[in-house]
Amino acid sequence: MAATNDKPLARYVRVLETVAHARTGVTLTEIARELDLQPGTAHRLIRGLVELDLLRSAPGTKSYVTGPRLQTLLHATMERAGYAGLAKSVLDGLVEEFGETAHLARLSGDFAESVLMEQPVGSDRAFVQPGRQLPLHAAASGKALLAFQDEDFVAGYLSRPRTRFTERTKVEEADIRSELAQIRADGMAVCDNELDAGVLSYGHPIHVGDGYVLYSVGITGLADRFRPIERARIRQKLAEAADDLGRRLGFAG
């Protein structure tokens, strides 16, 4: 129950806690009853949280679930070391399948942050070592994230200057938007000599919780050796890994 002398901010926090604990969604009536609030007060609090993207209506229901901004905050608090138990075995499977470096990336502001990397035994090809900031317009894992953000995010990103890392890096807005549309259609992003010369990478979005794309999974190798592998096979294995990781990383969904 909510304390009768709750300050306004405390009431907002209690609503968020109620929805987060429910996990599968909770209705306005249930929130009002749980927190001992008048329905009108509960509606006002929920509306404010929805406007801030901290809550959202669950499609096809009268329930509320955590929103994209709250999801991002929850996942951003996780330390890089914490990802090993959740994702290492999936990345190891990709390494075994292709003999190349696999990594997990997380959306962090205006870039993709590599949070976990696995590579073949004896390899020194650490292209995506944890902590590396990967550009959203050039890295495959970054493109896989950018393609599935909302229009406000994409427009904001494209309104700022972008670095050309190699002669193949796309920096013009029209070119980037065209590629993002292709990624949404294909389900996989490609970085072919666009970030690191001589390196070919593939990235796949990971849908977490209610479908938010906060992570991507990628595989990276030297272009001359990696290019002969059929892209359809890479897409299939990355899609399978992304589905697995989405379930594992859905702890906050």
Which residue segments constitute the domains of the chain, with CATH numbers given?
8-66 (1.10.10.10), 74-252 (3.30.450.40)
**pLDDT tens sequence across 202-224:** 999 998 766 679 899 999 999 99
pLDDT greater at residue 216 or residue 248 = 216
Residue 10, phi then psi, degrees to nearest 5: -65, -35
Task: Report how far residue 92's alpha carbon sits from residue 95's, in angstroms, rounded to the nearest whole number.
Answer: 5
> How far, in Å, CA of 205 to CA of 188, rounded?
7
Backbone phi, psi, residue 215, to 5°: -135, 160
pTM of the full structure: 0.76
Question: Which backbone phi and psi does 54 adopt, to 5 degrees?
Answer: -85, -25
Averaged pLDDT for residues 147-155: 94
In which residue are the tokens 């901290």 written?
A: 54
CA distances from 54 to 32, 39, 73, 176 (A): 18, 19, 9, 29
Q: pLDDT band at 80, cuts 50/70/90?
A: low
**Which contiguous run of DSSP H or E holds residue 253?**
none
Give the CA-trace dihedral at 42, 48, 54, 59, to 10 degrees.
70
